[in-house]
Amino acid sequence: MSSKSNVFVISLILFLGSTSAGADSENRSVDTTANISASPGIVLQAFLQDEDLKAWWKVSRSLVEPRAGGIWSITWDDRRQAKTHRAWIGVIEEITPLGLVVGHLVMIGPDMATRAG
């Protein structure tokens, strides 16, 4: 007797830059688990489709190339400050029907921006 798995694995490997100019960057990882009442295919599409990312994560826009080596980028407008954005930008390292690995993920926010002097 075989049954379809309702397990979907996503791995986001984070490389967070320092918030102060000249400081060393820190590598951090975040592991979390969520139970989602949907098939793995629907969950995968929710990480890949602009309309789904807008509905689920409330992103302003996204750019996703759904293939290994493709870009995975999402941004939010920060309504508290004029003309500021937050972004997650990474590279899809692995994509299967049951999982997605986004590596080299960089999180950028207004407080991380610096101007060249």
Could you read off the pLDDT of 68-79 as tens digits, one per residue? 999 999 998 877
| Structure confidence at residue 91 (pLDDT) | 92
Total of domains in the chain: 1
Residue 34 in domain:
no
57's enclosing H/E stretch is helix 50-57
Query: For residues 64 and 72, what is the distance between their CA atoms, to the nearest angstrom?
Result: 5
Residue 2 in domain:
no
| Structure confidence at residue 26 (pLDDT) | 54
Q: Residue 52's domain spans which residues?
A: 9-18+40-112
Q: What is the pLDDT of residues 63-106, one digit of tens each?
A: 999 999 999 999 988 776 666 678 889 999 989 888 888 888 88
Name which residue leads in pLDDT, 114 or 57.
57
pTM of the full predicted structure?
0.69
Residues 6+ apart with CB under 8 A from 115: none
Mean pLDDT of 16-22: 40
